[in-house]
Amino acid sequence: MKFKKGDKVQFIREGSMVEGVVKEVKDCSPDMWYLIDDKCKDCWIFGGHLILLTPLPVIPQFVADAIDTFKDEGDSLAVAIDYEVYTDELVKELSLDRKMRGWLWETSNQELFARAWMGEYEVEQEPLYYVRLPIVRLNTLGTAVEGDYKYLWADQATGENNIFQSLEYPSTLIQSGWKTKFTESEIKNMDTRYWAFAVPVEEVDGE
């Protein structure tokens, strides 16, 4: 098997499995040699001694939550992977996300679910949003005009929230667990009406 720059690989050194990244490729036909960065020191490794590192399956947070829930309940993979199990009744009883039914209906997601269940996995980073509320003022004609914005701050541990002019202050709120960046579900759990004012973090930070 041939590797290319940037590939994540594994190889055995001094009896231990080491992970590294291909930095350079040297074609010494018929052999291939690779310069590997293993975070300790760079070394050239014969291609026949390298194994491609298979990336961990990446799943949404609601799928990871479902896996944890069914394992805690002592259920098997066969039960948890059956999309027909995710009835409204069971979703409510076990605090599962009803999106699981549609997600598992896709055949490719069933294989992804099984891989995640059987080993380690990474959780997909959900998009984050600010809740940006416009400040409306009246002009000299008495017509409403959009001015600046205020932002929602919330402490989800306590359920408290407030509206402030800035994203950067007061620092005491940040230190005590308040935040301004939320996932879609976090916003809708606070108040579904806030979702109409959600703006992607990247869009605001790039202004």
Residues 138 and 201 in one domain: yes
The per-residue pLDDT for 75 is: 94
The average pLDDT across 58-86 equals 94
Residue 143 belongs to a domain: yes
Nearest to 164, CA basis, from 154, 177, 176: 154
Give CA–CA dist 52/3, Å, rounded.
8
**pLDDT tens for each residue of 158-185:** 888 888 888 876 666 655 678 889 998 8
> Which residue, of 92, 123, 154, is where some domain finishes?
123
Q: Is residue 81 a contact partner of residue 113, using CB atoms and an 8 Å limit?
A: yes
Q: Is residue 67 a contact partner of residue 116, using CB atoms and an 8 Å limit?
A: yes
Residue 97 belongs to a domain: yes
pLDDT, the chain, mean: 85
- Our count of domains for the chain comes to 3
Residue 110: pLDDT band (50, 70, 90) is: very high
Nearest to 35, CA basis, from 14, 1, 46: 46
Nearest to 52, CA basis, from 115, 1, 120: 1
Residue 43 belongs to a domain: yes
Residue 197 belongs to a domain: yes
**pLDDT tens for each residue of 20-43:** 888 888 888 888 888 888 766 778
Residues of the domain holding 79: 58-123
% of residues, the chain, pLDDT over 70: 89
**pLDDT tens for each residue of 192-207:** 999 999 999 988 877 6
